[in-house]
Structure 1
Amino acid sequence: MRRWSRRSVLGLAGAGTAGLVLGGCGGGSGSGTGTTIRWWHIANTDPMLSEWAKMARRFEADHPGVTIEITALENEAFKTKLTTNIQAGDPPDIFHTWGGGVLAQQAEAGLIKDLTADVGGWRDTLIPAALDAYTIDGKVYGSAVDTGMVGFWYNKELFARAGVTAPPDTWAGLLDVVRRLKAANVTPIALAGKEKWPGHYYWSYLALRIGGLDLMRQAGDDKDFSRPDFVAAGARLSELVALQPFQTGFLAAGYSTADGQAATMGNGKAAMELMGQWAPTVQNDNSVGRKGLGDRLGFFPFPAVEGGKGRITDAFGGGGGFAVGMNAPAEAIEFLRFIAQPDNARIEARTAGVLPVVAAAQDAVTDPNLKLVARTLATSTGFQLYLDQTFAPAVGQQVNDSVAELLAGQATPEEVAAAITTAAKQG
């Protein structure tokens, strides 16, 4: 998600900026006396707003004297408010996290708890890579809730109109599809240029396909994004930009707005979008009649780049989880264990349309599109977290800003690589 980051469909619909604060109820049997847990999450609209509240009340019923005070915020408002509290040394007891560089900074500052021993109590119930984004120097600082990956969502009907019979599996093939769509008077790609984070997917995926996972690891170690493979990623993206594939006015377009990226796809006005597993839900929510594309929607992995070191089976994405503030009561960790129970994970999967990290809850994924993403993710040979989450916040922001400039024709591939390197070195 800037994104939910995207990434979590829980807070996508209804992008209001005001937070919702809900008080919990006590009762039932269990332990705990006069304890309040402050829980901040980004499920600020129903159905998950209500489902999370119900889950909190069930926990309270089993823990007399424990009250869970919920603050539900839209994604951007959440990040602003959390930053304020973090800077004041007062993190919530439980709060949403996407892991990566931001979580690492919070851990280094001693503002969150090391959950390694605690999560060990339910780690074996999770899918293998569930905790990777929340593990820093071998220690776990967050409990995962959902996962997913970015790929191309496409309109089968519009592909057929242009004579495209199968999704492309190479970058050259993708460029050819774009040309054929334009020749058929079809807008090839929908993009929310105003929000920047959707554009960073292209450059990041190209860097992953060209340089492989090792390129990303090296950049994390030496903060050097000026390597030829990063420049080549910008050059390949420039090839796409030169074809003018995006909808008219894409630089001013939002993501989940009435005339934004998701609506353009959901209303059948563009043939493709590069987006995470939440895309079908947001397309539906922002389309006329909230119907979306239905069985006209398909999915394919980001294509391979000819001669690249990366594999088409290497996935790029992320998910959502929860971190625990340094002064949180013990019951906060117990609540994370409660959320990780299969029946509760199934509720989130069915209601929010996400891919659960609890292995036993995989049977709750019934949507055909999500099943396709799940199968693609399950056969992946490697996984890279979003770059604007992997690296420190200033670096992530520079990735988004610089790629946006390239998409607008205001920066060269070399300038993009240099600007990101400068941000990384200064950080």
Structure 2
Amino acid sequence: MTAHLSRRSLLGLAGASAGAFLLAGCGNDESADPDGPQTINWWHIQNTEPMLPVWAAMAKEYETAHTNVKVAIQPLENEAFKTKLTTATQAGSPPDLFQSWGGGVLKQQIEAGLVKDITDDVKPWIGSLLPVSVEPYTVDGKIYGVPFDVGMVGFWYNKELFTRAGITAPPATWGELLTTVSKIKNAGITPIALAGKEKWPAHFYWSYLVMRIGGLDALKKAGTDHNFDTPDFIAAGARLKELVALSPFQKDFLAAEYGSPDGQAATMGNGGAAMELMGQWAPAVQASSSTSKKGLGDTLGFFPFPSVDGGKGTSTEVFGGGNGFAVGKDAPPATLDFLKTLLEVANQRKSATTGAVLPTVKDAADAIADANNKVVASTLASATGFQLYLDQAYPPAVGQQVNDSIAELVAGSKTPEQIVKDITTVAKSQ
């Protein structure tokens, strides 16, 4: 989330192990000789268990097999990554290999000449990946990034808390969701955990409601016409206000982060709330953020975002994205070979085994062990439509305004009518 895939990724606290790394070191002035000494500066946001050590081990294995190559890793928390990458790209010095969710942000990086066209380089093996996973990284028929993870946003829920509140089945409609929230609250349980401070988690609700009410076409049309001031977008805000009016979130949610010890993921992982709307990485971050470091285990369940009565969209249309890597303009020759190594079947299986990654390599799908992740994968596989996170799909300024506006709506400082005007003003200025 802007990642957001949020971010939409493994998020959490940036630990001391992240290490120091100077922006001035982003560019790579080393020789283009593929056999000469090379340093790959790699920035990623898998900065907590379980993927932090997995990536580190893969880099170490690569260095052992390629003695002329050093992989300098910079793990960063999601928001810190976006801030640091913006500074680096504005200076024209992107890292060699860095986290990307594709979409509008990647398109701007392409237009600025900051990333490499890797179409020819990946042609021999890109066919081993799920086609839908590559779409966000493909611009005008050319490939500029490679996804290692793909998934969707949905509701993760605590089965024991649902049972305690007398709920026998997950809600299938928006009306049922509101009723479920009320029942949970009446049972003395916090219905929903939300990281209000980071904004992007709240944008999931509004985005899904637009999809359910207006269908995918409404979002595509808004992106083309630069106009969000339409009945469907306003209605989505009104429906979200219905939820907010129930005061469903944990105490002090507006100040809560996502991956901090008292944040959204920890609240879920410690059994402090019954639900959260989050991507496929949720169980892993719940576990790493929880006091026990184990999360909810078999107590955790998953259900798709409900349908909205009378809406043009359906519950089989999904919202989400993947995590991938783009290659910086000055990356040394070994970078693409290292990227290929990360996407090898064996390494994708290692990533999938952690439960934190839904692999993009088709032959690695058999390594998905977690029951909930299997549900996510099957739901995604049978989806009738797909929408990338709005804060990634649209140009960065528009995506940021979406996040800011939804935060204002949830906080009660702006109305559904006001936020669509604000988003439209920014969209038309691009």
Query: The TM-score by the shorter chain falls in which range?
Result: over 0.9
- Displacement, 1:135? 1.3
Which residue of the other structure, out of 380, 399, 411, is the alignment partner of 1:408? 411
Q: Which residue number in structure 2 is paired with residue 98 of structure 1? A: 101
CA contact (8 A) 1:17 1:77 kept: no
| Distance of 1:257 and 1:290 partners within structure 2 | 13
Greater shift in the superposed pair: 31-40 or 272-281 = 31-40
Which residue of the other structure, out of 131, 145, 148, is the alignment partner of 1:145? 148
Identity %: 61
Question: Would the alpha carbon gap of residues 8 and 408 (structure 1) be closer, same or farther in structure 2, given more than 3 Å must change?
Answer: closer
Question: Would the alpha carbon gap of residues 333 and 368 (structure 1) be closer, same or farther in structure 2, given more than 3 Å must change?
Answer: same
CA contact (8 A) 1:145 1:321 kept: yes
Q: Which residue number in structure 1 is paired with residue 125 of structure 2? A: 122
- Displacement, 1:293? 2.1
CA contact (8 A) 1:48 1:352 kept: no
The residue type paired with residue 359 of structure 1 is K
Q: Which residue number in structure 1 is paired with residue 14 of structure 2? A: 15
- Displacement, 1:357? 0.4
- Displacement, 1:246? 1.4
- Gap regions ≥5 residues in structure 2: 26-32
- Displacement, 1:47? 4.5
The residue type paired with residue 19 of structure 2 is L
Q: Which residue number in structure 1 is paired with residue 357 of structure 2? A: 354
Q: Give deviations 1:257-289, integer Å, cap 9, x for gaps.
A: 222222222222221111111111222223332
Question: Would the alpha carbon gap of residues 291 and 345 (structure 1) be closer, same or farther in structure 2, given more than 3 Å must change?
Answer: closer
Secondary structure of the equivalent of 1:129? helix
CA contact (8 A) 1:9 1:352 kept: no
Secondary structure of the equivalent of 1:167? coil
Question: Would the alpha carbon gap of residues 77 and 211 (structure 1) be closer, same or farther in structure 2, given more than 3 Å must change?
Answer: same
1:165 paired with 2:164, answer no
| Distance of 1:333 and 1:288 partners within structure 2 | 39
| Distance of 2:50 and 2:269 partners within structure 1 | 21
| Distance of 2:78 and 2:168 partners within structure 1 | 38
CA contact (8 A) 1:153 1:298 kept: yes
Which residue of the other structure, out of 364, 386, 401, is the alignment partner of 2:367? 364
- Displacement, 1:245? 1.4
Question: Would the alpha carbon gap of residues 47 and 295 (structure 1) be closer, same or farther in structure 2, given more than 3 Å must change?
Answer: closer
Which residue of the other structure, out of 203, 212, 233, is the alignment partner of 1:230? 233
Task: Give aligned pairs, total.
Answer: 420
The residue type paired with residue 129 of structure 2 is L
| Distance of 1:161 and 1:167 partners within structure 2 | 14
| Distance of 1:359 and 1:420 partners within structure 2 | 38
Q: Which residue number in structure 2 is paired with residue 254 of structure 1? A: 257
- Displacement, 1:46? 4.7
- Displacement, 1:18? 7.9
The structure with higher relative contact order (CA 8 Å, sep 6+) is: 2
Question: Would the alpha carbon gap of residues 349 and 20 (structure 1) be closer, same or farther in structure 2, given more than 3 Å must change?
Answer: farther
Q: Which residue number in structure 1 is paired with residue 28 of structure 2? A: none
| Distance of 1:4 and 1:217 partners within structure 2 | 19
Greater shift in the superposed pair: 194-203 or 117-126 = 117-126
Q: Give deviations 1:12-58, integer Å, cap 9, x for gaps.
A: 243348842699xxxxxx96122332222223345433332332233
| Distance of 2:239 and 2:425 partners within structure 1 | 22
Alignment of 1:145-224 (within 5 A): 145-224=148-227
CA contact (8 A) 1:168 1:177 kept: yes
Secondary structure of the equivalent of 1:105? helix
- Displacement, 1:191? 1.1
1:397 paired with 2:400, answer yes
- Displacement, 1:155? 1.5
Q: Give deviations 1:208-229, integer Å, cap 9, x for gaps.
A: 1111111111111111111111
Q: Which residue number in structure 2 is paired with residue 85 of structure 1? A: 88
Greater shift in the superposed pair: 396-405 or 117-126 = 117-126
- Displacement, 1:138? 2.1
Secondary structure of the equivalent of 1:85? helix
1:131 paired with 2:130, answer no
Q: Which residue number in structure 2 is paired with residue 328 of structure 1? A: 331
The residue type paired with residue 59 of structure 2 is A
- Displacement, 1:117? 2.2
1:345 paired with 2:344, answer no
| Distance of 1:43 and 1:250 partners within structure 2 | 24
Q: Give deviations 1:104-154, integer Å, cap 9, x for gaps.
A: 100011111112222222121011201111112222110111111110111
CA contact (8 A) 1:21 1:69 kept: no
Question: Would the alpha carbon gap of residues 18 and 387 (structure 1) be closer, same or farther in structure 2, given more than 3 Å must change?
Answer: farther
| Distance of 1:166 and 1:406 partners within structure 2 | 29
| Distance of 2:296 and 2:47 partners within structure 1 | 25
Secondary structure of the equivalent of 1:290? coil
Q: Which residue number in structure 1 is paired with residue 292 of structure 2? A: 289
TM-score (norm 1): 0.93
Which residue of the other structure, out of 410, 424, 427, is the alignment partner of 1:421? 424
TM-score (norm 2): 0.92
| Distance of 1:81 and 1:262 partners within structure 2 | 23
Which residue of the other structure, out of 368, 374, 377, is the alignment partner of 2:377? 374
1:383 paired with 2:386, answer yes
| Distance of 1:57 and 1:279 partners within structure 2 | 27
Secondary structure of the equivalent of 1:55? helix
| Distance of 1:147 and 1:93 partners within structure 2 | 22
Question: Would the alpha carbon gap of residues 163 and 45 (structure 1) be closer, same or farther in structure 2, given more than 3 Å must change?
Answer: closer
CA contact (8 A) 2:12 2:260 kept: no
Secondary structure of the equivalent of 2:349? helix
Q: Which residue number in structure 2 is paired with residue 27 of structure 1? A: none
Which residue of the other structure, out of 290, 298, 304, is the alignment partner of 2:301? 298
CA contact (8 A) 2:206 2:240 kept: yes
| Distance of 1:70 and 1:412 partners within structure 2 | 43
| Distance of 1:56 and 1:288 partners within structure 2 | 29
CA contact (8 A) 1:265 1:271 kept: yes
